[in-house]
Structure 1
Amino acid sequence: MDGRLCSKVTCAREAVATLTYDYGDQMAALGPLGGSGHPHAHDLCAQHADRLSVPAGWIVVRHEALRA
């Protein structure tokens, strides 16, 4: 574990994905765990990443990690 936990309140699971929002385009992007330190990125555990919901009219772009 690299020490990064899910951003959801009361969740203590390891983060595996990073969520970012583009409010202007009404889009949420969910992808592999990104670099730390970005103030507008939210780290999520697998459970919360799978359960992600966005406001009506928004789209979600899910980026999958490339596997060798």
Structure 2
Amino acid sequence: MSAPIVIHRPSATGGRRVTVRGQIAGLAHDDADVVEFLRRAGLPYAEQLLDDPAWVQWRGGRAHRYEAA
């Protein structure tokens, strides 16, 4: 089973697309953006999930980095 939250590779202009259960949540420019998207998706303890591979898969680039690719 794959993680329900995917933080995709950094875009050419900066930021990372975030999907929750296959639905686009938004474009994050930092961890605070990701936490807000996850809170809106009904995950109130999102900051605790960011480094849990059972919940979050970071694709392309280093985790917690949002600079342009």
TM-score (norm 1): 0.30
Whose radius of gyration is greater, 1 or 2? 1
TM-score (norm 2): 0.29
- The structure with the largest helix share of the pair is 2
